[in-house]
A = this chain, B = another copy of it.
């Protein structure tokens, strides 16, 4: 990717960010300047729904219409990714997802067949992770892992970007790495999300990463793995939404532990939440099985 183009985009966005007001950051004076707003660009929303994102329930500003509170569960990927999670914990996770109507369960690839079996015939999707959590395996392996997971029943894939290559200025590598997963997923009409691991990135790198994910055709950008530095912040969500516009999804993950956290992320522009404390978020109960990651 041409560095001049990236520099121009970064400058534009950072200037915009500096000028920005609190609140509905993709509009200025109530008018959308660049068709990036889900409130004012319903066509864009229809496009992403048409591309396979069937649960675009909210975005910047949507919460004002009262739609979020009633469908918070439907925005949550109910997540259990710790390496020592047992089959019985995964079974409990799937049971909770069905009970509360979460968007998906997000689990490691070796549990995809089990979850696909347990969730067959329900609206809860099976979401898995690719190149997780370091994002530093080979591109060919990420593509293979994607196809294997889909064949075993995965309906959404959250892949980790190669952070080290981004930091090395290898933008073509990063874009191709993302594209290898996205294009594999798309062949099967499976949704793809790109985890940026924002805690390792400067604002400029976050913008570059969003631009690369968008160019590669991903459906979502996502903040964090939950295993690295930091987690989702309102500032990062707003920045990511600003860069990718309304035709892509933004998933907030890492450290989202309460209803207040989740609603703050939605208010900042997230339309998907990754959480292990999902039961607590929607009901106030604490789910034993989902403590930890």
Contact = CB atoms under 8 A, between A and B. Distances in A.
Nearest to A89: B164
Contacts of A87: 164-165, 168, 170
Contact of A137 (B85, B145, B177): B145
A191 B145 CA distance: 23
A123 to B, nearest CB: 25
User: How many copies of this chain are found per oligomer?
Assistant: 2
B164 A138 contact: no
A237 to B, nearest CB: 21
A227 interface: yes
Nearest to A161: B83
B83 A135 contact: yes
A148 B152 contact: no
Contact of A148 (B83, B88, B140): B140
Contacts of A144: 140-141, 144-145, 148
Interface string A99-111: 0000000001111
A60 interface: no
B135 A167 contact: no
A273 interface: no
A112 interface: yes
Contacts of A177: 110
A149 to B, nearest CB: 7
A111 to B, nearest CB: 7
B164 A84 contact: yes
A163 interface: yes
A84 B138 contact: no
A163 B84 contact: yes
Interface in A159-182: 160, 162-165, 167-168, 170, 177
Interface of A: 81, 83-88, 108-112, 132-141, 144-145, 148-149, 152, 160, 162-165, 167-168, 170, 177, 197, 200, 227-228
5 contacts: A88-B168, A108-B134, A109-B138, A110-B136, A137-B145
Given A83-B160, A141-B148, 17 more contacts: A83-B133, A83-B200, A84-B167, A84-B200, A86-B168, A108-B134, A108-B136, A109-B141, A110-B139, A110-B164, A111-B136, A132-B134, A132-B137, A138-B145, A138-B148, A140-B144, A144-B148
